[in-house]
Amino acid sequence: MTVGDAGAFAKRDANTELKVELHQALLGLINLSALDTMSRAQIQDEVGDILEEELAKQRHALNSAERRQLTDDVLDELLGLGPLEPLLKDTTITDILVNGHDCVFVERYGQLEPSAVRFKDERHLLRIIQKIVSAVGRRVDESSPLVDARLADGSRVNAVVPPLALDGSLLSIRKFAKVPISLDRLVEIGSVPAQVAEVLKAIVGARLNVLISGGTGSGKTTMLNAMSAFIDERERIVTIEDSAELQLQQAHVARLETRPPNIEGKGEIAQRDLVKNALRMRPDRIIVGEVRAGEAFDMLQAMNTGHDGSMTTVHANNARDSLSRIEQMVGMSGIDIPMRSIRAQISSAIHIVVQVARLADGRRRLLSLSELTGMESDVITMQEIFRFRQTGISQDGSVQGRFEATGIRPRFLDQVMAHGKSLSPDLFRPDASFD
């Protein structure tokens, strides 16, 4: 860190303390209930006058630009999420990671970097966390120190507070784009080849059941959102999530979200309960944000009983591992089923596995598209249709490679044609490769 950087950090810290002091003073001077009926511009005018008086009393030497910035910061403190607001407004930031009140990192373009943003102290950070989680009916304290929540725009939030967090509260925010990323946009940024995007569109249109697999932060939900855009507007979709973050664009969407237990440990509604209930809601397709436990069994049942075109995601490093993960999760349902029966359920329920990953350069990419073809003895058979082959890393650290067809003609082509879609046979030639 340079001397200039150090000065910027020191100044930010001083202004942070002043900002919090002014915010506390404002709470005693204004009518908080009146804020709900006023626009931000009206509040800014009112607060600006009060701030001028308070700053004059304290005799702080600030120029006009610093006063405007301080007014904006106090408004953020009053109406928003305090020091986090500038980061939330920055469209280049995808992740915000708070490691205690004086250590904040952000992710830009797949790379982590430190931020000058600071909280006054641990209490200040805790107050912002409480503000986030209380807005969605959750709580976080010593008796419940872990919480998943979301912001108003759908961004995913996870918080861990002491005593579990040893060096101060931890806050992670996965920001979601204001406008959902489309499949065309994924093609534009190089995450999916245009030719494979056409295949993905046809898969959704043909009502094939899709499992999207990948590691943490690999873009599973982004891919699910992008593919879901091609579901017919006339279909009824039921979405089930732990923390609502799907951004479906269709008009007929019924959204369900799990509920954690209350302070007495009662009232929990798990994903499995919602999947069971969704079957009574006359869905055409069921979309589960992510399967993590016994709800995998109910999801397979839904896929096998007429809810074609359903989709879900799972944490796994490759397509074969994703099926093993589903097996393990079905075992967590508490129902005693022979392993062969579980695998038979999986092979008949899931048609396509889409594997995504975050590469060494931070870019998220589709790595493979595989088709389940049935069972041989006790083994689920699968064939890879497309795959990304890495060829090296350039001097600037970018991963180089190409997407290629394996030369296998997929069995799902017949179903695609039956739904009035068409795909060129040239897409699947063994010498076909796409940049």
For residue 366, what is the domain's CATH number?
3.40.50.300
Q: 282 and 416, same structural domain?
A: yes
Give the CA-trace dihedral at 182, 183, 187, 193, to 10 degrees.
170
What is d(CA 94, CA 107) in angstroms, rounded to the nearest whole number? Answer: 6
CATH number of the domain enclosing 100:
3.30.450.370
Are 346 and 312 in contact by the 8 Å Cβ rule? The answer is no
Q: 359 and 239, same structural domain?
A: yes
Tokens found for residue 180: 């959902």
Q: 172 and 65, same structural domain?
A: no
Q: 168 and 247, same structural domain?
A: no
Is residue 265 pLDDT above 60, yes or no? yes
Give the CA-trace dihedral at 206, 207, 211, 214, to 10 degrees.
50
Strands 156-160 and 146-150: antiparallel
Q: 113 and 32, same structural domain?
A: no
Q: 214 and 319, same structural domain?
A: yes
What is the arithmetic mean of pLDDT over 111-126? 87
Number of domains in the chain: 3
What is d(CA 63, CA 39) in angstroms, rounded to the nearest whole number? Answer: 26
- Domain boundary, last residue among 55, 77, 99: 77
What is the arithmetic mean of pLDDT over 225-241? 92
Beta strand residue intervals within 224-328, DSSP E = 237-241, 253-257, 285-288, 311-315
Q: 88 and 32, same structural domain?
A: no
CA–CA distances in Å: residue 346 to residues 96, 177, 208, 277, 380:
37, 33, 13, 21, 8
Strands 93-99 and 285-288: unpaired
Q: 406 and 359, same structural domain?
A: yes
Is residue 217 pLDDT above 80, yes or no? yes
Is residue 18 pLDDT above 70, yes or no? no
Residue labelled with tokens 């725009």: 153
Q: Tell whether omega for the bond before 425 is within 30 degrees of 0, i.e. cis.
A: no
Going by C-alpha positions, the residue among 205, 256, 212, 196 that lies closest to residue 229 is 205
Give per-residue pLDDT as tens, 4-14. 333 333 344 45
Which residue(s) pair with 380 in the sheet?
375
Is residue 142 pLDDT above 90, yes or no? no
Residue 25's identity, in one-letter code, is A
Q: 226 and 137, same structural domain?
A: no
DSSP 83-126: GGHHHHH-TTEEEEEEESTT-EEEEETTEEEEE----SSHHHHH
- Domain boundary, last residue among 116, 147, 178: 178
Q: 168 and 215, same structural domain?
A: no
- Domain boundary, last residue among 77, 98, 120: 77
- Position with higher pLDDT, 94 vs 53: 94
Q: Which domain holds residue 147?
A: 80-178
Q: Mean pLDDT across the chain, nearest whole number?
A: 84
Are 11 and 19 in contact by the 8 Å Cβ rule? The answer is no
Q: 152 and 22, same structural domain?
A: no
Q: 100 and 69, same structural domain?
A: no
What is d(CA 116, CA 104) in angstroms, rounded to the nearest whole number? Answer: 7
Is residue 25 pLDDT above 70, yes or no? no
Position 26 scores a pLDDT of: 65
Is residue 52 pLDDT above 60, yes or no? yes
Q: Model-level pTM greater than 0.95?
A: no
What is the arithmetic mean of pLDDT over 123-128? 88
Residue 392 is given by DSSP the state E
What is d(CA 288, CA 326) in angstroms, rounded to the nearest whole number? Answer: 13
What is d(CA 36, CA 43) in angstroms, rounded to the nearest whole number? Answer: 10
Residue 366 Cα to chain centre, angstroms: 17
